[in-house]
Amino acid sequence: MITKIIQGSPAQQACIVQGDIILQVDSIEIKTIEELVAEVHKHPIGKTLQMLVVRNGKKYLFELKLNQTPSPVS
């Protein structure tokens, strides 16, 4: 489950929100946050990934274009 979205991040730009559950990245099943991070890191910046997400019990498909994630402000 997504617990935080960084302002200006690829996730925010793709309309992924806090509470979403990511099931797949480019048809690869995701079960843990570690799997999600590993799968995303396999792809170069600039690539667009498809993410299958559950939000409020409904499935949605989002396209997320990888770019440099902004550093959070402390």
pLDDT tens digits along 35-44: 998 999 899 9
Going by the DSSP 8-state scheme, the letter that residue 71 receives in this structure is P
C-beta atoms surrounding 20 within 10 Å: 20
Residue 42 forms part of a structural domain: yes
Number of domains the chain is built from: 1
pTM above 0.95, yes or no: no
Residue 73 forms part of a structural domain: no
Residue 39 forms part of a structural domain: yes
Average pLDDT, rounded, for the chain? 88
Three-state DSSP class for residue 36: helix
Distance of CA 12 to the CA centre of its chain: 9
Domain span at 37: 10-65
